[in-house]
Amino acid sequence: MNDRGLRVAVAASVVLVSIWAGARLYVTRTSEHGQAVPGVEASAPNAQTPDEGWPHPIIPARLPVFSLSDLQGLPTPIMRWSGKSLVINFWATWCAPCRREIPLLQTLASEWAGRDVTVVGIAVDYRDKVQDFAREFKIDYPLLIGEQDALDVAAKFGMDSPAFPFTVFTDRRGEVVALFVGELHRPQADLILSVVQTLNQDLVQLPEAKRSIADGLAAILNNRAG
């Protein structure tokens, strides 16, 4: 991707991040505030919400197959972590909410590693900037990097015009359980990962797990508003 092309993509994403008032969760098809409704496409925005610029992804049922370069430039397939639940975080060094998420993601990577959960960061950025950032912030979970190729991977998750950050959660079977758009916070992360664990233990089925996540996220937002 040439410099102009990447700048255009970056500028578009900055606009999306700057106009967003709160995080969203997509599990299949979602309405405002992460409340799940049946279907495969995102619902139309609430008429009272200025939401025309926000992505409404059609999310794949399963983790797409893709490969991106790691920090050293080595091609790394996402299937390297097959059999693990994944927290795939799309971010960029220039994105303020992305930077704020890093400590939480590092904590999640450490706390959940023993339960077969792996955090993978996908930086839509230049390798040298990501390398410098990773050294400065001592990021110890796996990082994959790309320019247009990373944007192509984002599109595989339905995010053709990605707003950064966004995070994909999968179970151990590679099923996409949730896609969270915006800055991830501890309550949302704990909720989603706890439900993913019940899926991995075969205590619930996927539809029930998605409903539980959507209801739980709505409760978190209601508590904040109250």
For the chain, domain boundaries: 3-225
Instruction: Kindly report the backbone phi and psi dihedral angles of residue 205, in degrees, each rounded to the nearest multiple of 5, phi listed first.
Output: -95, 165
Q: Can you tell me which residue has the tokens 């053709």? A: 160
Nearest-angstrom CA–CA distance, 83 and 199: 13
Among the listed residues 103, 104, 107, 139, the one whose alpha carbon sits nearest the alpha carbon of residue 123 = 139
CA-to-CA separations, 191 to 18, 62, 98, 186, 209, in angstroms, rounded: 26, 21, 20, 8, 11
Neighbouring C-alpha atoms within 13 Å toward the C-beta of 185: 8
Per-residue pLDDT, 56: 66
| pLDDT tens, residue order, the chain (226 aa) | 454 444 434 333 333 332 233 445 544 333 233 322 222 222 222 323 334 455 567 899 999 999 999 999 999 999 999 999 999 999 999 999 999 999 999 999 999 999 999 999 999 999 999 999 999 999 999 999 999 999 999 999 999 887 899 999 999 999 999 999 999 999 999 999 999 999 999 999 999 999 999 999 999 988 877 6
Neighbouring C-alpha atoms within 13 Å toward the C-beta of 27: 26
The residues facing 200 across adjacent strands are none
Give just the sign of the alpha carbon dihedral 110, 118, 222, 19. Answer: positive
> Does the domain spanning 3-225 belong to CATH 1.10.10.10?
no
Per-residue pLDDT, 127: 95
172 Cβ neighbours under 8 A, 6+ residues apart: 83, 84, 85, 116, 199, 200
